[in-house]
Amino acid sequence: MAKIGKRLKSANEAVTSDKLYTLTQAVALVKQNAKAKFDETIDVAVNLGVVVRQSDQNIRGMLSLPHGTGKSVRVAVMARGLKADEATKAGADIVGSDDLAESILAGKFDFDRLIATPDLMPLVGRLGKVLGPKGLMPNPKLGTVTMDVTKAVTEAKAGAIEYRAEKAGIVQNGVAKASMSEEMILANIKALVEALLRAKPASSKGVYLQKISISSTMGPGVKVDVSEFGSAGTKVS
């Protein structure tokens, strides 16, 4: 514990808590301070000027990151027949229908994402009470209810992430691993922020992109100067 405390103290001393850093500086600092014995996840928290209880301001979507998350994603597909065969060939970890539903109801969640074909949504619907709280319910808007299971599985395996504004309009996502290069981490963060800018609802008032903070699993948060991006939601070139 003493070594961990010393490491955290050193990391905190390297970051000025009330300073706004450029995105490049922030990524360099976070990567430099990610010194745990495991490959830390690089997390991004974005505060948006939205009221999530208003349906048209409930920001949510899927994004394929340029360099993936660096994390192995376990994908389950609920499908039958030829579509089940396609899912298996695409690299899905678990493929099934009624048997998969029974496994889920029994509390077995050996996957990070669930994809389903539209014809099996009545079956999936009966699992809503257990899938919903875990954020695993397939959704057509997110591309996880689809007949193109090959594309859905491939994108999930490549590191596609779901972003969603939670309470107070905060979007939080793990976007990379500390072992990835600064250039790769930067590209992934920019891709997420730009996706959020594109998703800006017309009804959003005031400053849309309010705060951005980056951290590693065990490291301190580093605040980013959002002036690199338009405060109203248009990226500055």
State yes or no: pLDDT of 34 exceeds 60. Answer: yes
**Reported CATH class of domain 75-157:** alpha beta
Residues 6+ apart with CB under 8 A from 234: 197
State yes or no: pLDDT of 152 exceeds 70. Answer: yes
The pLDDT-based confidence of 6 (bands split at 50, 70, 90) is: low
% of the chain beyond a pLDDT of 90: 75
Where in the chain are the domains? 17-68+161-228, 75-157
Q: Amino acid identity, residue 153?
A: V
Q: Identify which of 116, 162, 110 has the alpha carbon closest to the alpha carbon of residue 135.
A: 162
State yes or no: pLDDT of 5 exceeds 90. Answer: no
| Per-residue pLDDT at 231 | 52
Looking at domain 17-68+161-228, its CATH architecture is: 2-Layer Sandwich (3.30)
| Per-residue pLDDT at 56 | 87
Residues 6+ apart with CB under 8 A from 84: 77, 95, 96, 97
Q: Identify which of 75, 47, 41 has the alpha carbon closest to the alpha carbon of residue 59.
A: 47
152 neighbors 181 (Cβ within 8 angstroms): no
| Per-residue pLDDT at 178 | 96
Question: Can you read off the two tokens belonging to residue 161?
Answer: 């992430």
Averaged pLDDT, 23-44: 95
Q: Identify which of 46, 62, 69, 37 has the alpha carbon closest to the alpha carbon of residue 165.
A: 46
Q: Identify which of 25, 15, 21, 2 has the alpha carbon closest to the alpha carbon of residue 186.
A: 25
The answer to which of 24-33, 49-58, 106-115, 224-233 has the lowest mean pLDDT is 224-233
- Which SS3 state, helix, strand or coil, does residue 189 take? helix
Averaged pLDDT, 25-49: 95
The distance from CA 33 to its chain's CA centroid, rounded to whole angstroms, is 22
Total-model pTM: 0.80
Q: Average pLDDT, whole number, for the chain?
A: 89
The pLDDT-based confidence of 14 (bands split at 50, 70, 90) is: low
State yes or no: pLDDT of 33 exceeds 60. Answer: yes
The pLDDT-based confidence of 233 (bands split at 50, 70, 90) is: very low
Encode pLDDT of 97-117 as tens digits: 999 999 999 999 999 999 999
The pLDDT-based confidence of 71 (bands split at 50, 70, 90) is: confident
